[in-house]
Amino acid sequence: MAENVVNGVVNEAQNQAGDAISEALGGAGISTDGQLPNGFPSDQIPVVGEVQGGGSAPDGAGWVVRSTLGSDDFAAAQAALEGAGFVASAVDSDADSGFGNFALAPYSVVLTVATDGGVRTATYIVTTAQ
């Protein structure tokens, strides 16, 4: 039962993440070239897993990165962000999925992890204070 509750919350978070991606990127698309998007602050925001691609908003206002997780899971991605100094809020996860908000000025990160067909994907939505 608890797993169904977490899955339902994660599905809702993914729907909200889709809206946040569109808003963060100002309508720009997401690449699948295996590279971090231009201008992504990788020295300040750790991304766990194999990068699949991403996108960037005009004027460095935000980025989206998608990565495939192997044995790493939401807890590993959360630990990497917290280890970089980000403060977590609204975090929930189970064995296959998770979501959370992470903040460290000037960045805000929404992280979702979902498993589909045995593939675990992390989506990082990063915005900056304007």
- List pLDDT tens digits, range 95-105: 888 999 999 99
Q: What is the mean pLDDT of residues 55-82?
A: 89
Q: What percent of the chain has pLDDT over 90?
A: 56
- List pLDDT tens digits, range 11-64: 555 455 555 555 656 666 788 899 999 899 999 999 999 999 999 888 778 899
Question: Taking phi first (over 0 means left), then psi (-120 to 50 degrees means alpha), and beta for anything else, what does residue 34 get?
Answer: left
Tokens of 130: 């304007």
What is residue 96's predicted lDDT score, i.e. its pLDDT?
83
What is residue 26's predicted lDDT score, i.e. its pLDDT?
63
Nearest Cα to Cα of residue 48 among 72, 32, 17: 72
Q: Residue 108: is it exposed, middle or buried by C-beta count within 10 angstroms (0-12/13-18/19+)?
A: middle
Whether the predicted model's global pTM rises above the 0.75 cut: yes
Cβ contacts of residue 126 below 8 Å, gap of 6+?
24, 40, 41, 45, 62, 63, 64, 65, 107, 108, 109
What is residue 57's predicted lDDT score, i.e. its pLDDT?
84
Domain boundaries, the chain: 2-128
